[in-house]
């Protein structure tokens, strides 16, 4: 029954709303000939988008190479087969064998899904990887997606994101009230509590909506992608830190039945390819973002604006309320996911404070290094 409700709700939304069952019949079917299997991967990204889009392409290419062509994956940009935000529903309905997106896009159908992507003031990328792989996160994720016939894999991380682009300055909570802002997931739910009208837009929609001022601001990952989207052409106000997504995990979702039907070696190849891409995408964002930020600031006149302490405290209180509501109002699997996540967060706070936090504070003391920089 839960799977039926999910499909009905998700596939009547957005671009998929024209009758999912009828549309599905017109899609190209996967090829299976002479032991060669072809899968379709739908994504949430525009074609050619650096980072996210290139990650999906790399993943598909790696699977084909490791399998010596026995399993090939055809990648579709967001909107080519289904709406960019409907990847999980497409896999569940049989429109595609794989999807590449963010789990937080699916909290309307699976309220705990966002814990496998990003939680405001939640886990950092390293902490998140620890929870997924050694803290019981993957097992809970599998159980949650089993209800919709899917198998999830962690396939990347954007790192700590920026706070977003604003058309006008935001100095206190009063400045937020009545503004319309594009932000997905629990971060959007937190801003609603502060009087913000939130929407969830795909990356391809952001430029136009900012340009015609139908939204007052938008957050979209960080400088590596924001530079490529050209958002600096609309506004120069770029806020930090990204409290809403402190390290956003990418997911590769696979049709569970199709995955189970693969020979064992191909299943291992899919899993290994996702693990490799998780590492590589994280490195890509870490490696490319500093240069992109410098370009935004030095060549395009972008102004970096830090959220005030009062704003961050308000964001934190609102985020706490949101997480508490998901916990208290959730079903059994939701409560177990949130409880596990919070338990890992609590233990990670101590460790991260004396390791990453302590080291970064020490590096920032201001001594001179051979490259001429002072922290």
Residue 374's pLDDT is 78
Structural domains present in the chain? 2-158+247-287 (3.40.190.170)
Distance of alpha carbon 139 from alpha carbon 9, whole angstroms: 25
Q: Which residues contact 222 (CB under 8 A, 6 or more apart)?
A: 158, 159, 160, 161, 162, 242, 285, 289, 292, 293
Ramachandran region, residue 195 (left: φ > 0; alpha: ψ -120 to 50; beta: rest): left
Task: Name the DSSP letter for residue 31.
Answer: P
Residue 375's pLDDT is 65
220 a known binding residue?
Answer: yes
Q: What is the pLDDT of residues 144-192, one digit of tens each?
A: 999 999 999 999 999 999 999 999 999 999 999 999 999 999 999 999 9
Q: pLDDT tens digits, the chain, 375 residues: what are they?
A: 444 444 444 443 333 333 333 333 444 444 444 489 999 999 999 999 999 999 999 999 999 999 999 999 999 999 999 999 999 999 999 999 999 999 999 999 999 999 999 999 999 999 999 999 999 999 999 999 999 999 999 999 999 999 999 999 999 999 999 999 999 999 999 999 999 999 999 998 999 999 999 999 999 999 999 999 999 999 999 999 999 999 999 999 999 999 999 999 999 999 999 999 999 999 999 999 999 999 999 999 999 999 999 999 999 999 999 999 999 999 999 999 999 999 999 999 999 999 999 999 999 998 989 988 876
If we measure between CA atoms, which residue out of 289, 163, 158, 160 comes closest to residue 224?
A: 289
User: Residue 252: which H helix or E strand, with range?
Assistant: strand 249-255
Using DSSP, state whether 307 is helix, strand or coil: coil
Distance of alpha carbon 54 from alpha carbon 158, whole angstroms: 13
Residue 155's pLDDT is 98
Q: Tokens 């490259």 — which residue?
A: 371
- The token pair at 373 is 């920089």
219 a known binding residue?
Answer: yes
Residue 23's pLDDT is 33
325 a known binding residue?
Answer: no
Using DSSP, state whether 77 is helix, strand or coil: coil
User: What are the DSSP E strand ranges found in the chain?
Assistant: 32-33, 36-43, 71-76, 98-102, 150-157, 164-166, 180-182, 197-199, 217-218, 237-240, 249-255, 303-306
Residue 14's pLDDT is 39
Residue 19's pLDDT is 38
End-to-end CA, the chain: 56
161 a known binding residue?
Answer: yes
Residue 20's pLDDT is 36
Q: What is the pTM of this model?
A: 0.88
């Amino acid at each position: 029954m839960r799977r039926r409700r999910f499909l009905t709700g998700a596939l009547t939304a957005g671009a998929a709303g024209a009758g999912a069952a009828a549309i599905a019949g017109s899609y190209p079917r996967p090829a299976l000939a002479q032991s060669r299997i072809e899968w379709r991967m739908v994504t949430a990204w525009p074609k050619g988008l650096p980072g996210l889009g290139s990650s999906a392409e790399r993943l598909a290419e790696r699977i084909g190479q490791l399998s010596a062509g026995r399993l090939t994956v055809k990648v579709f940009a967001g909107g080519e087969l289904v709406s960019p935000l409907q990847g999980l529903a497409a896999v569940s309905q049989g429109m595609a064998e794989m999807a590449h997106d963010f789990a937080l896009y699916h909290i309307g159908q699976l309220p705990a899904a966002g814990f496998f992507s990003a939680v405001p003031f939640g886990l950092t990328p390293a902490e998140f990887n620890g929870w997924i792989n050694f803290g019981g996160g993957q097992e809970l994720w599998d159980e949650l997606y089993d209800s919709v016939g899917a198998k999830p894999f962690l396939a990347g991380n954007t790192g700590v994101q920026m706070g977003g682009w604003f058309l006008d300055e935001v100095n206190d909570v009063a400045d937020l009230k009545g503004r319309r802002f594009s932000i997905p997931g629990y971060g959007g739910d937190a801003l609603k509590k502060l009087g913000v009208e939130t929407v969830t837009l795909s990356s391809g929609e952001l430029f136009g909506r900012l340009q015609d001022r139908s939204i007052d601001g938008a957050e979209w990952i960080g400088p590596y992608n924001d530079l490529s989207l050209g958002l600096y052409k609309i506004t120069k106000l770029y806020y930090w830190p990204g409290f809403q997504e402190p390290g956003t995990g990418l997911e590769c979702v696979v049709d569970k039945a199709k995955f189970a039907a693969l020979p064992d070696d191909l299943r291992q190849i899919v899993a290994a390819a996702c693990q490799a891409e998780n590492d590589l995408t994280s490195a890509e964002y870490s490696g490319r973002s500093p240069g992109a930020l410098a370009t935004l600031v030095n060549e395009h006149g972008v102004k970096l604006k830090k959220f005030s302490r009062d704003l961050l405290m308000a964001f934190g209180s609102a985020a706490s309320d949101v997480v508490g509501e998901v916990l208290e109002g959730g079903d059994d699997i939701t409560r177990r996911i949130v409880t596990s996540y919070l338990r890992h967060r609590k233990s990670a706070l101590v460790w991260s404070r004396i390791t990453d936090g302590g080291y970064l504070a020490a590096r920032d003391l201001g001594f001179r290094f051979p490259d001429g920089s002072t922290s």
